[in-house]
Structure 1
Amino acid sequence: MEDLILNKIIETSNNNITVIDSEGIIVHSNPEHWVNYGMKPGTYKGTSIYDLEKEGLLAPSIGAIVLNEKIKKTILQHTKTDRVIMSTGYPVFDEKEELLFVVSYSHDQTEILELQQQYEKMERKVKGYQTEVEELREKEFEQNGIIARSSAAQHILKTIYNISKTDATVLLLGPSGVGKSTFARILHSHSNRKKEQFIEVNCSTIPEGLFESEIFGYETGAFTGANKQGSEGLIEQADGGTLFLDEIGELPLSMQAKLLKVLQEKKIKRLGGKKERTINFRLVTATNQDLEKMVQEGRFRLDLYYRLNVIPLQIPSLEERKEDISYLVQDCLQKFNSAYNVKKRIHPSTYDVFTNYNWPGNIRELENLMERLILTIEDEVIYPTHLPANFNTFQTNSSFSLDNIEQPLKVTNNLKEILENTEIQIILKALKKCKTTYEMATYLGISQPTVIYKLKKYKNKLDHS
């Protein structure tokens, strides 16, 4: 009776169950189980699993493996019908630890594996698309007139892209020379106002006596020497577009109140005029000063500060964009070589100096230095010795030590060979530690272009090391 019930349970189970005895003879099995192996449905009671294995129907047999090893095992079987079966076998012992039976369960994994393969294929495609997107993003960054390989610069650009379609007021913060005006132009070029005017005003360059007439415009006869037809101011010229007020901290207090009124009412009145004109522009401002401190000192209006400080963006200094330095140098080199019809080159050791220098004048300092070097250095290659004296104080920060070299250096009296062998060992050590040339550059305390140069120089020797 119990045997009858057991047979019925196995035959009707959704799991594919097979029970064999200690000789490998099938005593119970699910009839539908064998269809996966290319066999007709049946119990196959009394059949030897060793015979089925020899015929290639069970490749291999989970029962035979468990009988041999006497422990639980799980395997994948590939059948003649191109199915993939996962089988798990359990040994059954008596009180004397003698093996009596092996109970095995099998599950068809073909569809799951196919789904897994499809997923992996799709994942590879997604990674490929992500790579393409990153490449397009890098091209877009460079096409916008700015090199942004560093995470700091890319973060700012992504933020600018996110807010570009709005009309929110943006305050660009950062030291002199970081390219605030360039970021302001990118913001305008991605905005809904990109087809309209971008008016840039440097508040520090307009004399206070002329500020009102320049910014707000004037009517006929407003002052001695005024144009007879009057003149529209810079704010009016920005109507429909973007007004960029650089060095906003230099805006006279008397003009701050008038600018605040324009921002609040969206109307403007020319100097000497009575008529108010409705105005529509987006305001972007920039400063290298601490406006909060200026507010506390009474040099900047608090209400205007709140109007300007809607979306403050801190533009990173060049020292915070180490990854961009070599690309910026290359960009300047190409630009000035073309402008002055020369073919100057930068020695890899010079890149090291540039990378470790702190650049207090930021991108403007780098551009001015590159132009000066190209115009004044007679040699075709620019070496560290050609740089100004303040560049000589840099120190290379490296996490590498010669004590870390694992392989002994080749014994030789030739100084050139000694230096090359040492350099190769150092590079090999870095290759083991780092995944990218940028990581190697950081690890060795040199620039990324220098790493690439060294890898190419010693390629054959490194391949055989």
Structure 2
Amino acid sequence: MKTQADMFEIELNAILQASKDNIVIADGKGTVLRASPNCTSIYGKDSASLIGKSVFELEAENTFSPSVTVKVLKENKEVQVMQQTPTGRTVMATGLPVRNESGEIIRVISFSTDLTEIQHLKEDFEELQTRMEQYQTEIQELRGKDLSIENLVLQSKAIRQIWQLVQRVAKSDASVVFLGESGVGKNVFTRALHQGSDRKKEPFIEVNCGAIPEALFESEMFGYEAGSFTGANRTGKAGFIELADKGTLFLDEVGELPLSVQAKLLMAIQEKKVARVGGLKAKSIDFRLIASTNQDLAEMVRQGKFRQDLYYRLNVIPITIPPLRERREDIPLLAHFYLQKTNEKYGMNKFFHSTAIEKLVAYDWPGNVRELQNMMERLVVTAETRTIYPDALPFTFQHDLEQQAGNRSEVEDEEKISTLKEALEEVEIRWLKRATRQCITTYEMAKYLGLNQSNVVRKLKKYNIDAKTHLNAIEH
């Protein structure tokens, strides 16, 4: 006849066998006493290999990562954790302490629920939502297809107006200079201008004015005749201007042009003639001139760093492209655009969670579109899941975003200040708060601020600043 203990054993084994959740029972020291037979599919080890082992040991070898039983024993309470198992499963584990009459933990029972399929369904749902947003975007783009071009996102009013202006001036031969911060997309608009012109089938010659050494600039720009200098090509060489005949000459970063070549370039632009270095005869060249710069050319003229006559020749139609922080509505579309291109490049299918997009929109993007493009490639390569969450964004990005928010808060605070006295008090408060973060005692704060200690104590009380809780403990 079976005893009550035998019946309890049978019932417990039946529960372990029938449960869809994985159940592990450990004693008060963390030694595994029982485990469900479905351990193999979730943790990659059968129940027999777990029994008798310490959960601390199993955590160290990443079988339980992290171990919910370890957390229960350390925190002395019920705990719930998410685990990534060696078999690639996503598991939610709940640990329950069992206590004796003295309140000591004598058993820990953990229940592990496999959420992998739910996680996949969640990601599929989020991908579906993202695709719906993309389809809506595509519908908007189709409605305004006259405002679409490869590698160019036209969402904000400012960019649409620039695109319309580019279309209007493309058919003319007027010189155009694109102005704006580095990385805003000046090169993209330049190529669009060439593609929209009657010269689109002719050469598009791009010259990075900042990448050519000054000693070589004249020979590279205007070309040279055979034997004109030591090391010259025996047959001579055509310069960039000559190569642009019938097409477009694009001077990127034109603010970097050496003064020594500006006069000769001006003559070539005005007369549409070029004489090679070492040559006597000038050759007529037909080209459309486009330039770009991230510098203030007008200020450079005032400083004598740029010729005024060349400035006016270039500045026939100036087009300023605003930075991303001034057209935040473009950021989601640009992010999806470059994400898709990078997905295709690496054969992946990553997509954004809506909270990640919110972070991207809030960021100021000092490197503009170029920085955003590089960020998309980094996220596709480094994100662990198909869904890109905010925690996949680099630490430096998160830090800059926090600092950016802090700077905005300071500006807002300054705007609220109406008198000089209030402004001075605000400065004092900031320095005092900074000192509380940097120093341990008010004596150290006094040295840091260049004040005496009693003055520091008085000001802390005046502004009701709560110094670090350990401050008084150390001083007294």
Question: TM-score band, normalised by the shorter chain?
Answer: 0.5 to 0.7
What's 1:325 paired with? 331
Shift of 1:191: 0.7
Match of 1:224 among 230, 233, 239: 230
Per-residue deviation, residues 150-170 of structure 1 (Å, max 9, x unmatched): 101000000010111110000
Q: Are 1:210 and 2:210 an aligned pair?
A: no
Shift of 1:324: 1.2
Per-residue deviation, residues 205-255 of structure 1 (Å, max 9, x unmatched): 111111111110110001111111111111011111110000000000011
Shift of 1:342: 1.4
What's 2:190 paired with? 184
What's 1:390 paired with? 397
What's 1:336 paired with? 342
Q: 1:189 to 1:209 in 2, by over 3 A?
A: same
Match of 2:206 among 177, 200, 210: 200
What's 1:4 paired with? none
What's 2:288 paired with? 282
What's 1:161 paired with? 167
The amino acid of 2:339's aligned partner reads: L
| Structure 2 Cα separation of the partners of residues 147 and 247 of structure 1 | 23
Q: Are 1:301 and 2:334 an aligned pair?
A: no
Q: What SS class does the counterpart of residue 274 from structure 2 fall into?
A: strand
What's 1:417 paired with? none
Q: Are 1:259 and 2:265 an aligned pair?
A: yes
Per-residue deviation, residues 171-219 of structure 1 (Å, max 9, x unmatched): 1000000010110000010111111111111100111111111110110
Q: What SS class does the counterpart of residue 286 from structure 2 fall into?
A: coil
Does the 8 A contact of 2:301 with 2:307 survive in 1? Answer: yes
Q: What SS class does the counterpart of residue 254 from structure 1 fall into?
A: helix
Match of 2:362 among 356, 363, 382: 356
| Structure 2 Cα separation of the partners of residues 380 and 217 of structure 1 | 52
Per-residue deviation, residues 333-382 of structure 1 (Å, max 9, x unmatched): 11111101112121110000011111111000000111111112222222
Does the 8 A contact of 1:214 with 1:233 survive in 2? Answer: yes
The amino acid of 1:337's aligned partner reads: N
Q: What SS class does the counterpart of residue 309 from structure 2 fall into?
A: helix
| Structure 2 Cα separation of the partners of residues 287 and 160 of structure 1 | 17
Q: Are 1:243 and 2:249 an aligned pair?
A: yes
Q: 1:240 to 1:227 in 2, by over 3 A?
A: same
| Structure 1 Cα separation of the partners of residues 195 and 174 of structure 2 | 15
Q: What SS class does the counterpart of residue 206 from structure 1 fall into?
A: coil
Does the 8 A contact of 2:365 with 2:372 survive in 1? Answer: yes
Q: Are 1:376 and 2:379 an aligned pair?
A: no
| Structure 1 Cα separation of the partners of residues 141 and 369 of structure 2 | 24
Stretch deviating more after TM superposition (145-154 or 387-396): 387-396
Does the 8 A contact of 2:141 with 2:148 survive in 1? Answer: no
Does the 8 A contact of 1:249 with 1:300 survive in 2? Answer: yes
Per-residue deviation, residues 87-134 of structure 1 (Å, max 9, x unmatched): xxxxxxxxxxxxxxxxxxxxxxxxxxxxxxxxxxxxxxxxxxxxx998
Per-residue deviation, residues 49-79 of structure 1 (Å, max 9, x unmatched): xxxxxxxxxxxxxxxxxxxxxxxxxxxxxxx
The amino acid of 1:283's aligned partner reads: L
Shift of 1:139: 3.2
| Structure 1 Cα separation of the partners of residues 330 and 174 of structure 2 | 29
Q: What SS class does the counterpart of residue 171 from structure 1 fall into?
A: strand
Q: 1:156 to 1:137 in 2, by over 3 A?
A: farther
Q: What SS class does the counterpart of residue 343 from structure 1 fall into?
A: coil
| Structure 2 Cα separation of the partners of residues 298 and 158 of structure 1 | 34
Q: Are 1:234 and 2:240 an aligned pair?
A: yes
Count residues in correspondence. Answer: 266
The amino acid of 1:220's aligned partner reads: A
Root-mean-square deviation over aligned CA pairs: 2.0
Shift of 1:384: 1.2
| Structure 1 Cα separation of the partners of residues 249 and 325 of structure 2 | 29
Q: 1:299 to 1:137 in 2, by over 3 A?
A: farther
Shift of 1:143: 2.9
| Structure 2 Cα separation of the partners of residues 331 and 265 of structure 1 | 43
Q: What SS class does the counterpart of residue 319 from structure 1 fall into?
A: helix
Q: 1:395 to 1:311 in 2, by over 3 A?
A: same
Does the 8 A contact of 1:138 with 1:149 survive in 2? Answer: no
| Structure 2 Cα separation of the partners of residues 270 and 395 of structure 1 | 55
**TM-score normalised by length of structure 2:** 0.54
The amino acid of 1:362's aligned partner reads: N
What's 1:450 paired with? none
Q: What SS class does the counterpart of residue 380 from structure 2 fall into?
A: helix
Q: 1:133 to 1:355 in 2, by over 3 A?
A: closer
**TM-score normalised by length of structure 1:** 0.55
Does the 8 A contact of 1:138 with 1:148 survive in 2? Answer: no
Larger Rg: 1
Q: What SS class does the counterpart of residue 249 from structure 2 fall into?
A: strand
The amino acid of 1:237's aligned partner reads: L
Q: Are 1:270 and 2:287 an aligned pair?
A: no
The amino acid of 1:254's aligned partner reads: S
The amino acid of 1:215's aligned partner reads: M
The amino acid of 2:263's aligned partner reads: A
Per-residue deviation, residues 403-438 of structure 1 (Å, max 9, x unmatched): xxxxxxxxxxxxxxxxxxxxxxxxxxxxxxxxxxxx
Residues 103-142 of structure 1 aligned to structure 2 (within 5 Å)? 135-136=141-142, 138-142=144-148
